[in-house]
């Protein structure tokens, strides 16, 4: 993953001109806390994502050598508010960060709207 290619702005929705990231302390190896804006992929399917902050993406790239799956994905457990689920994060080669898909059930349960900051705790499952 090219770290120099990281962009500081999301171009996927007009609601997000310059996302602000908040990064929390690592509580144990493979566990990360952060806040970043929710954005919708420009397609008819309505996929929603949160782009992980660059610093966290770099750490994940470093600690997942040898355990990444298809398309460079990494299996994770995520908690947003009171909702916890398992999914995979995927590398975004345009920005050099990972993308966290946020399914509709989570967006509904946690009242998340496109453009709003999502506070998340993410744990890499396969460590």
Mean pLDDT in each 10-residue stretch from start to end of the chain (127 residues)? 41 41 63 97 89 97 92 96 97 96 97 97 93
In the prediction, which pLDDT does 15 show? 37
Q: Is the dihedral of CA 103, 108, 109, 114 positive or negative?
A: positive
Q: What is the pTM of this model?
A: 0.76
In this prediction, residue 45 carries a pLDDT of 81
Query: Contact 126/69 with Cβ under 8 angstroms?
Result: no
CA distance 56 to 30: 10
Which CATH superfamily, name and number, covers 20-124?
A: AF2212/PG0164-like (2.40.30.100)
Query: How much is the pLDDT for 25?
Result: 53
Give the model's pLDDT for residue 22: 61
Domain positions in the chain are 20-124
Main-chain phi, psi angles of 54, to 5 degrees: -55, -45
pLDDT at residue 124, rounded to an integer: 96
Helix (H) or strand (E) holding 58: helix 54-63
């Amino acid at each position: 993953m090219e770290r120099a290619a990281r962009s500081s702005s999301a171009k996927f929705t007009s609601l997000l001109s310059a996302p602000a990231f908040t990064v929390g302390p690592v509580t144990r190896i493979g566990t990360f806390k952060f806040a970043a804006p929710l954005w919708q992929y420009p397609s008819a399917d309505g996929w929603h994502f949160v782009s992980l902050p660059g610093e966290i993406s770099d750490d994940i790239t470093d600690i997942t050598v040898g355990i990444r799956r298809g398309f460079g994905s990494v299996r994770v457990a995520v908690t947003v508010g009171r909702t916890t689920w398992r999914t995979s994060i995927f590398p975004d080669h345009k920005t050099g960060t990972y993308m966290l898909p946020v399914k509709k059930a989570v967006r509904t349960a946690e009242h998340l709207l496109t453009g709003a900051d999502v506070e998340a705790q993410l744990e890499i499952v396969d460590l």
